[in-house]
């Protein structure tokens, strides 16, 4: 049976990195679906004797077959991957907190903690993010929805401050749309100890010494690189489009061509790369041009085969635009053919996906193919 659960997230150590990273790791796990993520809020630390940095707080709505106890264990593993070390001081600063606070239509105790978490009724840093993504959930025994609870707390600007939306962590953290600084191995940085250990084992397996000077920080850099190269798993088309769809009477073909991409083949995890050409015939709606390139990256930044990626891009545009037709052509070179196997350095692969009029009408398809080849 699938259940919906609300998870509260918080961080006040490297919070700008760790909270979006936690959201990304939630999105990558196929044992649940992330249905919604709240905006991020900045709040003062609650409790504790010594002053400490403000928290970034958010909430996520998950649908999962896991029991609350099994989900809790999975969340603890994500905390560990982000460097969380639990101490007896429950008010100590932390890299990240991931706590189940509400199971829909159920009351229970989880490791001695009642769910729903009664702190929701008094702490804005819990109530506001939860109300953003599950406003109509009713708190049992209280007779109030999460939205009503949040509205009744009346937090001041010093108690809680709405920050940035957290629905696109990969664009801010793991994308060339943001910054390359995330790929540097900062001194004493904790990124993902479990992932880094896997890379370290690979280095040993191939006959290297991961402790020699040139490789000492390689596991961290490789972990970051792989997260970037597979960041398509951590986002959706809806998130990258972000409402950049506009009503317009245009009914002529729109083409965005020569969109460069880099992906990794799922058979050998070796890169393939090339160009994507996209065209569509609007039917009352157009999309921001830069969003077409972002859609390509959603699917390219996964383990892929070229044929599937081509069809995924076409189907995504059909789903969000409902156009009269879509055409996608991908031209790529595959290093698994160039570096190994047949070792044909000059080979390339072309795939296409046609939808609507691009498939049914030869003249429309011919116009598209001629335009993308017009230099």
Q: Give me the active site residues, please.
A: 265-268, 306, 334, 336
What are the DSSP calls for 270-324, one per residue? Answer: -EEEEEEEEEEE-SSEEE-HHHHHHHHHHHHSSEE-HHHHHHHHHHHHHHHH--S
- Tell me how far apart the alpha carbons of residues 109 and 74 are, in angstroms, rounded to a whole number: 18
- Tell me how far apart the alpha carbons of residues 323 and 172 are, in angstroms, rounded to a whole number: 30
- List the structure tokens of 250: 């245009």
- Which residues on adjacent β-strands are paired with residue 139? 144
- Tell me how far apart the alpha carbons of residues 109 and 124 are, in angstroms, rounded to a whole number: 22
310 touches 333 (CB < 8 A):
no
- Tell me how far apart the alpha carbons of residues 62 and 60 are, in angstroms, rounded to a whole number: 6
- Of 350, 368, 370, whose CA–CA distance to 360 is shortest? 368
Count how many Cα atoms sit within 13 Å of the Cα of residue 343 in the half-sphere of its side chain. Answer: 2
Output DSSP code: residue 247: E
Q: How many Cβ atoms sit within 10 Å of the Cβ of residue 296? A: 26
- Which residues on adjacent β-strands are paired with residue 278? 256, 328
Max alpha carbon distance in the chain (Å)?
74
């Amino acid at each position: 049976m699938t259940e919906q659960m609300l998870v509260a997230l918080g961080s006040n150590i490297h919070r700008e990195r760790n909270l979006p990273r936690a959201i990304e790791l939630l999105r990558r796990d196929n044992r649940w679906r992330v249905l919604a993520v709240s905006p991020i809020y900045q709040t003062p630390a609650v409790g504790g004797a010594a002053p400490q940095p403000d928290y970034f707080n958010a909430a996520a709505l998950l649908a999962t077959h896991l029991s609350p106890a099994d989900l809790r264990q999975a969340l603890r593993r994500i905390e560990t991957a982000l460097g969380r070390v639990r101490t007896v001081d429950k008010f100590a600063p932390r890299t990240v907190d991931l706590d189940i606070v509400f199971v829909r239509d159920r009351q229970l105790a989880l490791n001695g903690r009642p769910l729903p978490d009664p702190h929701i009724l008094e702490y804005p840093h819990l109530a506001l993010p939860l109300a953003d993504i599950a406003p109509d959930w009713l708190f049992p025994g209280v007779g109030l929805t999460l939205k009503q609870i949040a509205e009744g707390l009346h937090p001041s600007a010093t108690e809680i401050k709405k920050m940035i939306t957290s629905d696109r962590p990969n664009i801010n953290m793991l994308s060339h749309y943001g910054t390359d600084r995330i790929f540097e191995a900062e001194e004493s940085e904790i990124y993902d100890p479990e992932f880094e250990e896997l890379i370290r084992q690979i280095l040993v397996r191939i006959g290297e010494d991961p402790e020699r000077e040139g490789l000492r920080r390689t596991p961290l850099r490789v972990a970051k690189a792989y997260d970037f190269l597979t960041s398509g798993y951590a986002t959706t088309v809806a998130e990258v489009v972000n409402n950049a769809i506009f009503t317009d009477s245009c009914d002529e073909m729109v083409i965005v061509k020569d969109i460069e991409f880099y992906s990794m083949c799922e058979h050998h995890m070796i890169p393939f790369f090339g160009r994507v050409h996209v065209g569509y015939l609007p039917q009352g709606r157009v999309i921001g041009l830069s969003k077409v390139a972002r859609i390509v990256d959603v699917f390219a930044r996964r383990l892929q085969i070229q044929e599937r990626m081509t069809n995924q891009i076409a189907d995504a545009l059909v789903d969000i635009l409902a156009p009269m037709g879509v055409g996608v052509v991908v031209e790529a070179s595959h290093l698994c053919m160039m570096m190994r196997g047949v070792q044909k350095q000059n080979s390339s692969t072309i795939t296409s996906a046609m939808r609507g009029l691009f498939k049914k009408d030869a003249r429309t398809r011919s116009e598209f193919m001629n335009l993308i080849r017009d230099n």
